[in-house]
Structures are given as structure tokens and as C-alpha cells.
Amino acid sequence: MIMDYFLGLDCSTQSLTGILIDFNKKKSIYSYSVNFDKDLPQYKTQNGVYISNGGKVVHSNPLMWIEALELLFSKFIQINLPLEHIKAISGSSQQHGTVYLNSSFESILKKLDSDKTLASQIINVFTRKTSPIWMDSSTTKECEEIRHKLGGMESTIKKTGSNTFERFSGPQIRKFFKQNYDDYLNTSVIHLVSSFLSSILLGKNSPIDHSDGAGMNLMNIETKEWDQKALDATAPNLRLKLPPLISSYEITGTISPYFVEKYKFAPNTLLITWSGDNPNSLIGIGLTTKGRAAISLGTSDTYFAYLKQLNVDLSGEGHVFGAPTGDYMGLVCYKNGSLAREKIRDRFDLTWKEFSKILKNTPPGNNGKIMLPYFFPEIVPLVLKPYVYRFGFDENDLKGNVRAVIEAQFLSMKLHSEWVREEPEEIYATGGASTNLEILQIAANIFNTNIRQFEVTNSAALGAALRSSKSYYDSTKKIVDWTELVSHYLEIQKNVIIKPNRKHSALYNDMLDVYKKCESFVLKDGGDPEQYRKDFIKKYFDK
Ligand code: ADP
Ligand code: XUL
């Protein structure tokens, strides 16, 4: 029997997941997640992170990610997974986060002792003990400084694919250089979370891939090379501290002897460069051609689509990243995703089942109750000071709040993702909250589009496994076409289509208008939306 197994890993905000796929059977044969809070309580994270400074500073712990990797592999050994049959491995990680390492990092990786843990051997390599991650919004000043040096917003977007954003690696590196100058000088290499974990498996410094590299404000989005102007605007001698950039499908080498000795991987297991979670999800969900879009409802909510051509968002809200196929993807990211939904669930002590039941039994339009759901600082639209605004209800209204948070999230998503949307016929859903059919029904009604729900909700880990199979077969000259590869795989998955209820499309169109007015009232000194809200109530609810 031919056993062509491929492993995809995903280091997300709250967990590290591994999915093993059997290429011949076109299915995932095993998946397991290490939850940072529960399985590694000694790191004292909450939802995988450390929050300080009123929610502005958000870091995580790179040593914890390493321990999670070993826990995951120990689990594989415990249940006798045939790791020796894995042909190739690739990975995915939360985007933008940076890891700062001293000059001993690579030499330590090259002589790892398999009788000891990884964490005990690399504990002293960090020049910054914790890593700023995508939820951090403490670099507004640095964003302004870099944007100014690059000639303003439009030229920053044209150069790097995005305006400067607080969570992007460049502004974060600049803050470190300004505030911890000596530590910056002692830093030999700065990795993304993806290239850091990729280096651990490889046993030496790994390159950064074009897809994740685009989330740094440092890579030129057209040439896909480090942009000297952007580097100079960020911190001195930065080029020397960054790994090289490569295509997302490139093989970086074979697995480090540490993992061969300790976990019995085959010595010739190929490693394919890691990438960001959103680019990986693009593959895991099968978006390798134009005309389809996806929503990922994880810790962050994202809306993204494959782009054949480079098409930037000059309004400055969206991003263009690389796609693992070598093309591009457009993306809009919201920080108030699952954790905002959980705030309401926990405020009323509900289970997800009870939460869903309320969604099912409350009217679309919520009797005109509208929320602006900034439980945490928001990325799109930019809100640095978290506050939850309620129009027509208060925080004690159980049903009103449950429906309002979900409607708000998708109204906002529809409003701010217009530039990347080509009126898709179908939106693919992934991430932890995509298991919730009631949430997806509201999304379908608001977008007025079919939503497709998949059996595998961790499309990032699946995407990494699929990427590794593609690069492996390409290297053996048995070329597999991207679209064919993902479609075979996805066809076999059980998937459910949620259809919009067309009866509500006019209501949601009108509500989008009122939502927009509420947002502009609060964030841009727009006029009072109350009369519009009252008219909306009169039209749909006062009967
Ligand atoms: P990430 O990969 O960003 O760490 P996941 O995609 O694993 O996150 O999603 C985790 C989130 O999924 C949890 O924070 C939780 O709120 C949400 N979730 C899990 N089950 C449900 C459900 N039935 N309804 C709504 N949300 C859910
Ligand atoms: C994307 C973003 C998040 C993280 C965490 O720009 O910041 O989606 O990748 O998932």
C-alpha cells in the first residue's frame, strides 16, 4: 500500500493544530489541537495572549509555541501515528507577529540534543522575551512616521500592499528599535511567527515566504523583494536582520535530525516554507480561482478573496498579501471576531447552543437595535479606544445584544470589504465559529449570498498540508494543478450550503445604510442617525 502522508501545522492565536492528510484517499486522517491556555497553563496566557496597557499592547510567548509543537508531536507518538510515512510538512501561523533572536539561535538549532526538550535548549536565544502579535495596536506613532517617510498613505499602499497598520511587523520593529535600542542591536535575526517555527523544524534560519512577508510593510508588493526605502523608514541595518524572501511553494530543506531522532520522522521528510494563516486558508478552502470569497471566523474575523492581478485598496482599510499560488489575495481583518462574540455569550452566561437559539428566534433587523461592537480596539474601521456603542437598547438586553453583535459584525464586514468583493456567487466559511449555522445564516442574509460550510474548520492547517503535497509532487515532476488538487480534496468533504432568505434582503440593505450612519456618527462626526433608525423601525417593525 502506498502511504503518501502530508502534515499541515497551524500556530494560531489560541492553539497549535496538526492535520495529517492521506493524499491517495484525499482525506484528513487525523487532527489534533494543543490549546495554549489549557494545555500549557504555566505560560499564564488568556486566549493565547498577554494583554496590557488598556488593551493596546498584546504579546504572546514564542517559547510556548515551541512547547506546543513538542506536545503535539508527543501526542502523535502516543497514538502511534505513522510519522515515518510523512513525505512533507508545511505550516501556517498567525500573521504579522515577530520573534527577535540573538546570534546563538542558528548555532543552537544546528546542535540540538534530542534527549532534551527544545524549550530548555533555546530559552536563552530571545532578545525580546515576548512577541508582539496581530492584536497589538500600540504603534500608531510608528505607523505615522513610516507612512510619512514613504510619502504618505497612497504611496505606502502602492509600495507595500497596505497602509501602515499598528499590528504589521515594520511598525512593531520600529517601536522595538526606538524603545529598546540595545536589545535591537543585540538582535541578529527577526522572524515572523511562520518563519520562526519553520526554522525550528529546519534546524537553521528559514526564509520568509512572499505571502506572509506582505504583511510587514517591508516587502515591495510588486517585486516581492525587501524594499530598501521601507527598511530605511523602519529601523537601521534592518536588511541584515531579516531572512531572505522566497516563494510560498519553495522547499526549504529536510527535517532537522532532532525530530528524526526524537519522533521518528523519516530523515528525508521535506519541509516547505511556512506561510500566514490567511494565505494558507485560501488554499485550504479552495480559493485558487477568481470569483469566490471566504470569511474566516476565528479569533480574528477576516474576509478574503483570491486576486489574479494586483489590486490595492487605496482607501487604506484592506490589504493585499501574496497567495501561495504565486498570485495575490485581498483581505480585510477585524479584531472583534470570536472574542467579541464570547463577551456577549459570557456576559449572559450562555452556551453556544443557547446563543444560537436566540439568534434563531429573534427577528432580522433586531427591532432596530444596532450595536457598534468595539469590545477590543478595532482594525477596520480604525478604533483605538475600545467601546461598545448601542443604539436603542442597553447592555442588559439579552436577546438584543446576542443578535446585535452578530448583525453588526457582518454589516461591518459587508460595508468595509467592498473593494475586494466581485459579487461572489458563494462565500466559503471557515474558522471555529463557522460550525455555528445560525451565525452563518445571518451572514448569508446580510451578504445575500450562499455560504458554504466545510467539515474541516481549520482550513489553515489543511491548506498547509495541501501546500506541502503540491510542492512534494512538483519536486518529483508529478505536477498537480492547484485547482485540481483542492477540488478533489474539497469535493470529498461533507459541505453544507446555507442559502440567504431573500425575503430579508431589502431590510438588510436599509439596515446597512443605518449602520453606516451610526458608524459615521461615532467615528467621523457624522450627523445623528436617530431619525434614520426610527424610519427603519417604522418601515419594518411598527405594523
Ligand atoms: P484561531 O485559529 O484564530 O485561534 P479558531 O478558528 O480555532 O481560532 O476559532 C476559535 C473560536 O471559535 C473560539 O474563540 C470560539 O469563540 C469560536 N467557536 C467555537 N465554537 C463555536 C460555536 N459553536 N459558535 C460560535 N463560535 C464558536
Ligand atoms: C490578518 C490578521 C489576522 C491574523 C490572525 O491580517 O491580522 O487574521 O493572521 O489570525
What residues pair up with 305 in beta bridges, in sequence order? 293, 330
Nearest partner of 49 among 167, 212, 203, 174, judged by Cα: 167
Q: What residue type is assigned to position 537 of the chain?
A: I
Distance separating alpha carbons of residues 205 and 41, to the nearest angstrom: 29
Cis amide bond preceding 381, omega within 30: yes
pLDDT at 485: 87
Q: Give 298-326 pLDDT, tens digit per residue.
A: 999 999 999 988 989 999 999 999 999 99
DSSP for 204-259? SPPPEEHHHHTTSS-B-TTT-SB-HHHHHHH-TTHHHHSPPEE-TT-EEEE--HHH
| Ligand 1 close to Cβ of residue 438 (< 6 A) | no
Banded model confidence at residue 27, pLDDT cuts 50, 70, 90: confident
| Ligand 1 close to Cβ of residue 247 (< 6 A) | no
Q: How far is the CA of 344 from the centre of ligand 2 (A)?
A: 22
DSSP for 112-123? --TTS-HHHHHT
Ligand closest in space to the Cα of 161 = 2
In 10 A of CB 33, how many CB atoms? 19
DSSP for 413-434? HHHHTGGG----SEEEEESGGG
Closest ligand 2 atom number to CA of residue 167: 7
31, 95, 193, 299, best to mutate for ligand 1 pocket (most atoms within 8 Å of CB): 299
Q: Are residues 381 and 359 in contact, defined by beta-carbon separation less than 8 angstroms?
A: no
pLDDT at 395: 98
Length of the chain: 543
Task: Work out the widest C-alpha separation in the chain, in whole angstroms.
Answer: 75
Q: Give 498-532 pLDDT, tens digit per residue.
A: 999 999 999 999 999 999 999 999 999 889 999 99
Residues 6+ apart with CB under 8 A from 532: 513, 514, 517
Ligand closest in space to the Cα of 31 = 1
In whole angstroms, what separates CA 181 from the centre of its chain? 30
Mean pLDDT score across all residues of the chain: 96
Distance separating alpha carbons of residues 103 and 430, to the nearest angstrom: 39
Ligand closest in space to the Cα of 165 = 2
Report percent pLDDT > 90 for the chain: 90
Banded model confidence at residue 3, pLDDT cuts 50, 70, 90: confident
Q: What residue type is assigned to position 52 of the chain?
A: S
Q: What Å distances lie between residue 259 and 191, 262, 510, CA to CA?
A: 21, 5, 57
Distance separating alpha carbons of residues 59 and 65, to the nearest angstrom: 13
Distance separating alpha carbons of residues 177 and 171, to the nearest angstrom: 10
Burial class of residue 39, CB neighbours in 10 A (0-12, 13-18, 19+): middle
Distance separating alpha carbons of residues 91 and 137, to the nearest angstrom: 26
Q: How far is the CA of 299 from the centre of ligand 2 (A)?
A: 9
User: pTM to 2 decimals?
Assistant: 0.96
Averaged over 362-368, what is the pLDDT? 98
DSSP for 138-162? --HHHHHHHHHHTTSHHHHHHHHSS
| Ligand 1 close to Cβ of residue 298 (< 6 A) | yes
Distance separating alpha carbons of residues 400 and 363, to the nearest angstrom: 10
Q: Give 91-130 pLDDT, tens digit per residue.
A: 999 999 999 999 999 999 999 999 999 999 999 999 999 9
Hunting for cell 475586494 — which residue is that?
420
Exposure string for 158-182, b = 16+ CB within 10 A, e = fewer: bbbbbbbbbbbbbbbbbbbbeeeee
For residue 103 the three cell numbers come to 546570534
Per 3-state DSSP, the chain is made up of helix, strand and coil in percentages (nearest 5) of: 45, 20, 35
pLDDT at 1: 63
CB within 6 Å of ligand 2 — which residues? Answer: 13, 94-96, 134, 167, 215, 276-278, 298, 300, 302, 333
47, 60, 94, best to mutate for ligand 2 pocket (most atoms within 8 Å of CB): 94
Q: Give 180-235 pLDDT, tens digit per residue.
A: 999 999 999 999 999 999 999 999 999 999 999 999 999 999 999 999 999 999 99
Exposure string for 124-152, b = 16+ CB within 10 A, e = fewer: ebbbbebbbbbbbbbbeebbebbbeebee
Backbone angles phi, psi at 152, to 5 degrees: 100, 175
pLDDT at 309: 87
Label residue 264 left, alpha or beta by phi (over 0 means left) and psi (-120 to 50 means alpha): left
| Ligand 1 close to Cβ of residue 432 (< 6 A) | yes
Q: How far is the CA of 134 from the centre of ligand 2 (A)?
A: 6
Averaged over 335-358, what is the pLDDT? 98
In 10 A of CB 531, how many CB atoms? 11
Exposure string for 389-419, b = 16+ CB within 10 A, e = fewer: bbbbbeeebebbbbbbbbbbbbbbbbbbbee
Q: Are residues 425 and 478 in contact, defined by beta-carbon separation less than 8 angstroms?
A: no
3-state secondary structure of 84: helix
Distance separating alpha carbons of residues 10 and 530, to the nearest angstrom: 45
Q: What residue type is assigned to position 481 of the chain?
A: D
Q: How far is the CA of 436 from the centre of ligand 1 (A)?
A: 9
Nearest partner of 439 among 482, 410, 463, 417, judged by Cα: 410
> Strand (E) positions, 63-203?
86-93, 98-101, 131-132, 189-192
Q: Are residues 8 and 23 in contact, defined by beta-carbon separation less than 8 angstroms?
A: no
| Weakest-pLDDT range from 20-29, 110-119, 443-452 | 20-29
| Ligand 1 close to Cβ of residue 12 (< 6 A) | yes
Closest ligand 2 atom number to CA of residue 321: 6
pLDDT at 115: 98
Banded model confidence at residue 66, pLDDT cuts 50, 70, 90: very high
**Cα dihedral value 449, 452, 457, 459, nearest 10:** -90
Question: Distance between terminal CA atoms of the chain?
Answer: 68
Nearest partner of 299 among 349, 335, 266, 353, judged by Cα: 335
194, 209, 331, 333, best to mutate for ligand 2 pocket (most atoms within 8 Å of CB): 333
